[in-house]
Structure 1
Amino acid sequence: MSFADYDLVKYLANIVDILLVWFVIYKAMGYIRGTKAVQLLKGIFVILIIKFTSDVFGLNTLGWIMEQAITWGFLAIIIIFQPEFRRALEQLGRGRLFSRSAATEEENEEKMVESIIKATDYMAKRRIGALISIERETGMGDYIETGIQLDSKISSELLINIFIPNTPLHDGAVVIQKGHVAAAACYLPLSESPFISKELGTRHRAALGISEVTDSVTVIVSEETGNISLTKNAELYRDVSMEQLTELLQNELMSSTKINGTTSTRWNWRVKKNG
């Protein structure tokens, strides 16, 4: 092998090395998205910025404090987030941390949509009030922590049981995260919009409120009328039919539908917005 060939192999190895590092970082960020670890990372960046600023301007005391925080902070992180590290290592041992087939993802999305539709239809016919919020890109970890954490596989039977009147978990919202029922009896922020109809209650205000601060899709079943409503992107759509609900959830939550570009706006002009 000539010297030029050796340099080329070394150059390609460096490129592969960089790509692998970026791949690991990307997967790690996807794993912690929507968890408390995101806030931790923000805190670490703030400490690093303060440390850099103190070094530049010669703030020795502040720099020493930040250096101690960095030195002992990593040990504290390992202790505090020990369950998360253990879960990640377990998934790595099963070969599931960095591998997830598209077929499995699509199957889970289809089951989630089917379960929500079936449960909503059942509760609407019996006028059982319900509030179901589905997380998308924006993490809802802060709202999950306000409720009773379940981390259960989604099913229509579970959703129906949660909202049966006079049960411990029926009051509040169910938050679905990554195809699982993350928590029940969650508190969602109420919208302060003056354009909401006075006949709408707390469930609708909470559904609209969460749609104003996240990109979630939220389904509401009215306890008084049994009507189905839906919020997304700070818009409230009232009296949605089961056909419209099915079409929207498939378009918004199933990646295969998004990729195929079958999103339809037919349901938009058939429902009432806000008031």
Structure 2
Amino acid sequence: MSPTQTAHLMDGTGTARRLVEESAGRAAELVRRTGSAPCLATVLVGEDPASVTYVRMKQARCAKAGIESRRVQLPAGTTTAELVAALRDLSQDASVHGILLQHPVGPHIDERAAFEAIAPEKDVDGVTMTSFGAMAFGLPGFVSCTPGGIMRLLDEYDVDVAGRHAVVVGRSAILGKPAGMLLLARDATVTYCHSRTADLSAYVREADIVVAAVGRPRLIRGEDIKPGAVVIDAGYNAGNVGDVDFDTAAERARLITPVPGGVGPMTIAVLLAQTVTAAYHQLGADLDRAIV
């Protein structure tokens, strides 16, 4: 690709819509077979405006996919022990098939302890250590939703990652680390970079695939993108700005995700798909159409 050409956009909105439609069909089939619809419980601590908006959006998507949603609203002062108890109760509730803890939950709560209170078979957000271990070892389980959405986008655009150098910028437990694991499972050569990486630009310049997931606006500069690279921007910052300087990166990349409209819609779509799969497992239905 010539440096003057513009990259093709990876349409997360359209790809996510098709996945949600597929999930809706699977949910309807589950109701036909068992009389029960998949149910996702969303737990929200406090009234953070962004989190409230995200939860409402997820509930609306659930409705489109034929998934029942249950919102569990807890006060901002909820303790770790109280949150853990609420999550354990949901884990034991047979009418709930998937559990999502909306994060962040506040600095006074041990978020990891809360995540681990979610039963692995209901961890449709892929946040527990059990889920991470399954991703790392290539075993059946639920993937972290954003990395899972990234892999689906790569598949949608026929990006073969085998033998390619993928640079993941970010090392969070539910985004950067599992994204690298999933790429490694596809035979990519993976380099992790982060806020302490010296000379980040040097690593990015060598990348065939860049996954930006560090939460710093426009950290990845277009001049550092290898011509013809695939750029996945999983960052979301104030003002609808990603972690990649989109305008300059698009002049050099072959494929690039926009912000918004790229990775974000895929995250929710994977969450819904995994909720339907969880319901199939828990209700003992035929899994031929249930595998994500």
Which structure would you say has the larger RCO, counting Cα contacts within 8 Å and 6 or more residues apart? Answer: 2
TM-score, normalised by the number of residues in structure 1: 0.23
TM-score after normalising by structure 2: 0.22
- The structure with the largest alpha-carbon Rg is 1
Q: Which structure shows the bigger proportion of residues in helix conformation?
A: 1
